[in-house]
Chains A and B, each alone.
Chain A
Amino acid sequence: MANSIVNVTDATFKQEVLESELPVLVDFWAAWCGPCRMVAPVVESIANEYNGRLKVAKVDVDHNPNIAGQLGIMSIPTLIVFKGGQVAKAMVGYMPKDQMKKQLEGVI
């Protein structure tokens, strides 16, 4: 079964990400950003492969500047894994799937 990716906003971030029981991979992106569009299919494929073990969410920083600002995000794409409401891992920039899996293995 395909895992659906949740679009999270400034308003829903707390509930969807910080209070999630599963670890959450959050992809901070924007429409104008080429590398964000490059990493999108990788994130989608991760969502399918880790279905049940990992929740996957996206935050459009253009429309949700507060949460990106609070987390001190200054580059996109930034991918952050949250566990129990805490930042467990942050990754910046495009990376191929194999590399992203390696980064995730230690945390989830």
Chain B
Amino acid sequence: MTAKVWDVVIIGGGPAGLAAAVYSARGGLSTLIVERGLFGGQIFNTAHVENYPGFPGGLSGPEISQRLEEQAREFGAETLLAEVLEVELKGDPKVITTSEGEIRGHTIIVASGAGARKLGVDGEDRLIGAGVSYCATCDGAFYRGKKVAVVGGGDSAVEEALFLTRFAEEVHLIHRRASLRAAKILQDRAFSNPKIKFHWNSVVTEIIGETKVERLRLQDTDGRTSELPVDGIFIYVGQTPYTHFLRGQLPVNQRGYLVADETTETPVPGVFAAGDVREKVLRQVVTAVADGAVAAVMAEKYLAHIAG
């Protein structure tokens, strides 16, 4: 594998990377996707996706993941399970150092995605796995008949709060603002669900518990503090992009996302940024796959250009 120079190396096997692979492999470009663990990306952890256009009734997250992977393979994209440690973006070929050795490519599509952002409060790190969770679909079933809190006010927070009502007896939604940011249809469902209690204008300042989560300390915007006894806390306060392996070779915005417009072109020729890792207003499967398609086409143009 070391001697080969791939036309396109895609870092990350989520929807953006897999869609890029579908387009580039179908376009006849030799394509390698490097994924650290599981193809499908974050959507794999979503129980049900009902707003992906063209699929009335919805699809499960794992099903979307598996279909994308299958489609990428169908056109001949190859895959490598490895952690990307470092990249050298300049020049040609570009060199990607992974846990399984060195890879070289004429172009790179960075589709490394994003992961859960932490709250950054006392008790959070210490109690991960002991009541602190970032994945309701993974851990929800451990809270049958128990009391849980969900922190956040976006689509993910509200969706996961609704999912948790299948198991938990009470779901406390804690949000720092006076209204939710989530889609109206999700808000309506949450407001009409008797298991969900709302704590507005409130933040969690501490997660308390000896060996497992016992209660949360909350503070509202007037400075009043209170304690809420819960068995678990699910944190959905946004994402943080995975860009550490780039070591500052590409510009990022204030929140750490790669700067690239809808062409997905970065300032480094032959390097493209697609999916959740790129700055954008909406992070969904539909925007990720769109980026992937564009990045693949831009990579193809770049290859034609350097072949001259």
Please report A residues at the B interface, Cβ cutoff 8 Å: 30, 32-39, 41-42, 62, 68, 72-76, 78, 90, 92-94, 96-98
Contact count A vs B, C-beta below 8 Å: 76
Complex contact A34–B133 (CB within 8 A): no
Please report the C-alpha to C-alpha distance between residue A7 and residue B262 in the assembled complex, in whole angstroms: 48
**B138: Cβ under 8 A from any A Cβ:** yes
| Nearest chain B CB to A58 CB, angstrom units | 16
Complex contact A34–B129 (CB within 8 A): no
Please report the C-alpha to C-alpha distance between residue A74 and residue B139 in the assembled complex, in whole angstroms: 6
Complex contact B37–A38 (CB within 8 A): yes
Complex contact A78–B37 (CB within 8 A): no
Given contacts A41-B37, A73-B142, 5 further A-B contacts (CB under 8 A): A30-B138, A38-B36, A74-B130, A75-B133, A75-B142
Q: Name the one of A33, A42, A68, A72 contacting B212, with C-beta atoms under 8 angstroms.
A: A72
Complex contact B129–A74 (CB within 8 A): yes
**B226: Cβ under 8 A from any A Cβ:** no
Interface residues on B, range: 20 to 34
Q: What chain B residues lie within 8 Å of A94 (beta carbons)?
A: 37
Q: What chain B residues lie within 8 Å of A72 (beta carbons)?
A: 130, 211-212
Q: What chain B residues lie within 8 Å of A73 (beta carbons)?
A: 129, 142
Q: What chain A residues lie within 8 Å of B232 (beta carbons)?
A: 74
Q: Quick one: CB contact mask for B75-119 with A, threshold 8 Å, 1 for yes?
A: 000000101000000000000000100000000000000000000
Residues A35 and B138 in contact in the complex (CB < 8 Å), given A96-B36, A96-B83, A97-B99: yes
Please report the C-alpha to C-alpha distance between residue A4 and residue B217 in the assembled complex, in whole angstroms: 46
Residues A74 and B212 in contact in the complex (CB < 8 Å), given A34-B44, A37-B38: yes
Please report the C-alpha to C-alpha distance between residue A68 and residue B285 in the assembled complex, in whole angstroms: 33
Residues A75 and B139 in contact in the complex (CB < 8 Å), given A92-B129, A93-B128, A98-B99: yes
